[in-house]
Amino acid sequence: MADKLVRIGGASGFWGDSSVGAPQLVQGGGIDFLVFDYLAELTMSILAGARLKKPELGYATDFVTVAMRSVLKDVVAQGIRVVSNAGGVNPQGCADALRALADELGVSVQIAVVTGDDVMPLLPELRAAEPPVRELQSGAPLPARVLTANAYLGALPVKAALDAGAQVVITGRCVDSAVTLGALMHAFGWQPGDHDQLAGGSLAGHIIECGCQATGGLHTDWRDVPDWAHIGYPIVECGADGSFTVTKPPGTGGLVAPQTVAEQMLYEIGDPARYLLPDVVCDFTQVRIEPAEPRGGEARVRVHGARGSAPAGSYKVSATYVDGFKTSAQLTIVGFEAAAKARRTGEAILERVGGLLAARGLPPFSATNLEVLGAESPFGPHVNPAVGQLREAVLRLTACHPDKAALELLAREIAPAGTSWSPGTTGAGGRAGVSPSIRQFAFLLDKARVAPTVALEGLEVLVPKVPAAGAQWAQTAIEKEAAADAPGEPMQVTEPSVEVPLIRLAWGRSGDKGNTSNIGIIARRPEWLPLLRGQLTAARVADWLAHLVQGPVTRYEVPGIHAFNFVCEQALGGGGMASLRNDPLGKGMAQILLALPVRVPAAWMNQLPPPPQGDL
């Protein structure tokens, strides 16, 4: 068992990912398991709506009609086992569709279904509970009209299904990394108390859960990533101790290097010393990411050093609810002073429609957002002065209102700008649609109230009980401050010195959790970390991002990969489905922070990479 290696390919990072992932991994990856991650909060609400219209739907249909149709015969022939959370809000419906596909293709396959994540039946008693249910970030009470409510299950049900002989496991909502961890628990016989191995397996799952983000996708140094069109999907080769290497199928594009894997490790996590999952609390602070010996012409990166402790006694539940209506419309403005013309156009539209609403006895918009795309709107006060010379810009107007008619009125008043105001106005397209404004509501639920179930070809499979509680989900303010303390000393810069943008010293990637943005910053050289420690303080980051971030900023150090993780609260205008911003998931937050000026010794200049084009 000590020498055993298990190869797992990550074929999907979200519902809508490319169709090339599964065939690429099955045909050239030499894998034992093929895993898919499809679900996000918005996806769950979309699937719930689909199930309301057609009871047999409510799952990620691409999993069956695209991915499995292309590989099912080969998967069965090669003995590859598949784990996917494509079940959404209807895992059994997904399994039924896959069974129909298997029958059509003449393939015999054992399919298991994991359910139990849907906690909608518990909502009536939760409304009457004491203490009352509260949203994790805002503290708001449980909404009156909830669309979906799903607990993030762990890996134990997946392990149980594989142990029982399933060739394909279809789950509903689980944490993204659980599809990989469940496979590893089965392959190595890991038990709930094997915390270090579970942490390593969870990290392996975290690295591949977003598809090509582990193989050069979204990499800071994007010019260094070859052959985007044929980028390779990630493979983790895992050992029984929880360590693993990251690679990709031979002959594919992309880049597997310590910095690309490090960027993905920090993606969408909070405190790296206490990354909370249903199966284990992970400590990634001492993880090492190092080049490994290439194989088959492909680069490989070794990852080791994750540590774990007992999980909390509660599941995180993600619910969605309707909060009025929302619309978003765009216009293109061409010519001299395009950005200024676009902004004045947007202001005029909002003023006009505001007057029309008042005349009809309707209240004002509950929220509006005016952005000029192409004019560096997300950079706020840090805009490049050259923006004033833009000769093309896109006006984006977004608004919310409790009455659908108010937003239909706004949508009608966009096109008249084409003949009324700014010269060079074009690109109105069709009238913008109005849709329900769907928001997320996250809360905690005692694990004892959730009963994951597994059925293999209609027969129930025993799922072990979740272990007793260990760590708690919530940190006190004192614990949070202690966890954020930097373990090293800052470097003081003496003259002569030069000011450069942070991107010349570091790589960065940002992600989201609700209304919180996290920004991982990795020093390009370990010896540069002390300088960044001194200048890249939480206070300075909060000041640089003050036009976007309304809550506190906490800095966590990750010394194993000479990095920091900045957790920015109330940073995304409500986040995800609730945000009116063009970037509701904070994908650009790291790019904005990488423009922060940093002072370095002049003697370092010949060691720095060249400045990016467009840098002042």
Residues 106-146 have pLDDT tens digits of 999 999 999 999 999 999 999 998 889 999 988 999 999 89
Q: What are phi and psi of 467, to 5 degrees?
A: -60, 165
* pLDDT value for 49: 82
Amino acid identity at 596: L
With beta carbons less than 8 A apart as the criterion, state whether 472 and 552 touch: no
* pLDDT value for 428: 87
Tens of pLDDT, residue by residue over 234-280, are 999 999 999 999 999 999 999 999 999 999 999 999 999 999 999 99
Q: Can you tell me the distance from the alpha carbon of 62 to that of 397, in angstroms, rounded to the nearest whole number?
A: 32
Beta-sheet strands, E only, within 13-115 = 33-36, 81-84, 111-115
| Mean pLDDT across 366-371 | 98
| Mean pLDDT across 520-547 | 97
Contacts by residues 604-608 (CB-CB < 8 Å, ≥ 24 positions apart): 604/498, 605/498, 607/525, 608/500, 608/504, 608/505
Q: Does the structure show a pLDDT above 50 at 176?
A: yes
* pLDDT value for 390: 95
Same fold, 318-439 and 484-607: no
* pLDDT value for 180: 98
Task: Dig out the tokens for 197 from the structure.
Answer: 């191995």
- Whole-Å CA distances, 63 to 84, 94, 98, 148, 466: 8, 9, 9, 21, 29
* pLDDT value for 478: 39
Tens of pLDDT, residue by residue over 374-411, are 999 999 999 999 998 999 999 999 999 999 999 999 99
Q: Can you tell me the distance from the alpha carbon of 547 to that of 588, in angstroms, rounded to the nearest whole number?
A: 14
The distance of Cα 381 from the centroid of its chain, to the nearest Å, equals 27
Contacts by residues 579-582 (CB-CB < 8 Å, ≥ 24 positions apart): 579/515, 580/326, 580/328, 580/367, 580/368, 580/369, 580/398, 580/399, 580/400, 581/369, 581/371, 581/378, 581/398, 582/371, 582/373, 582/377, 582/378, 582/396
| Mean pLDDT across 431-452 | 93
Beta-sheet strands, E only, within 182-287 = 235-239, 244-247, 275-276, 281-283
Q: With pLDDT > 70 as the criterion, what percentage of the chain qualifies?
A: 96
Q: Does the structure show a pLDDT above 50 at 549?
A: yes
Pairing of strands 111-115, 168-171: parallel
Q: Does the structure show a pLDDT above 60 at 437?
A: yes
Residue located via tokens 């399994």: 95
Task: Output the furthest CA–CA distance in the chain (Å, rounded).
Answer: 76
CATH assignment of 484-607? 3.30.1360
Of residues 472, 161, 160, 182, the one with CA closest to residue 316: 472
Dihedral through CA 126, CA 517, CA 47, CA 407, nearest 10?
A: 100
3-state class (DSSP) for residue 24:
helix
With beta carbons less than 8 A apart as the criterion, state whether 150 and 119 touch: yes
Neighbours of 334 (CB within 10 A): 17
Q: Is the preceding omega at residue 552 within 30 degrees of 0, hence cis?
A: no
Any idea which of 164-168, 209-213, 295-299, 305-309 has the lowest mean pLDDT? Answer: 295-299
With beta carbons less than 8 A apart as the criterion, state whether 510 and 587 touch: yes
Q: What are phi and psi of 202, to 5 degrees?
A: -65, -40
pTM of the model: 0.94
Q: Does the structure show a pLDDT above 50 at 93?
A: yes
Cβ contacts of 595 within 8 Å, gap of 6 or more = 379, 382, 501, 502, 503, 615
Q: Domain residues of the chain, as ranges?
A: 5-117+152-312, 318-439, 484-607
Task: Dig out the tokens for 538 from the structure.
Answer: 């939480």
CATH assignment of 318-439? 3.30.70
| Mean pLDDT across 507-530 | 96
Q: Does the structure show a pLDDT above 80 at 343?
A: yes
Q: Which helix (H) or strand (E) holds 48?
A: helix 41-53
Task: Dig out the tokens for 139 from the structure.
Answer: 């503290």
* pLDDT value for 480: 47
| Mean pLDDT across 519-543 | 97
Q: Does the structure show a pLDDT above 60 at 472?
A: no
pLDDT band for position 96 (cuts 50, 70, 90): very high
Residue located via tokens 């619309």: 327
Any idea which of 5-9, 77-81, 463-467 has the lowest mean pLDDT? Answer: 463-467
Task: Dig out the tokens for 366 from the structure.
Answer: 């509950």
Q: Does the structure show a pLDDT above 70 at 614?
A: no
Q: Can you tell me the distance from the alpha carbon of 394 to that of 339, in angstroms, rounded to the nearest whole number?
A: 8
Handedness of CA 185, 189, 194, 196 (dihedral sign): negative
* pLDDT value for 489: 83
Q: Is the preceding omega at residue 364 within 30 degrees of 0, hence cis?
A: no
Q: Which residues pair with 456 in a beta bridge?
A: 112, 459
Task: Dig out the tokens for 499 from the structure.
Answer: 């000011």
* pLDDT value for 227: 98
With beta carbons less than 8 A apart as the criterion, state whether 109 and 79 touch: no
Q: What is the mean pLDDT of the chain?
A: 94
Cβ contacts of 446 within 8 Å, gap of 6 or more = 313, 314
Q: Does the structure show a pLDDT above 60 at 616?
A: no
Amino acid identity at 405: A
* pLDDT value for 474: 43
* pLDDT value for 399: 98
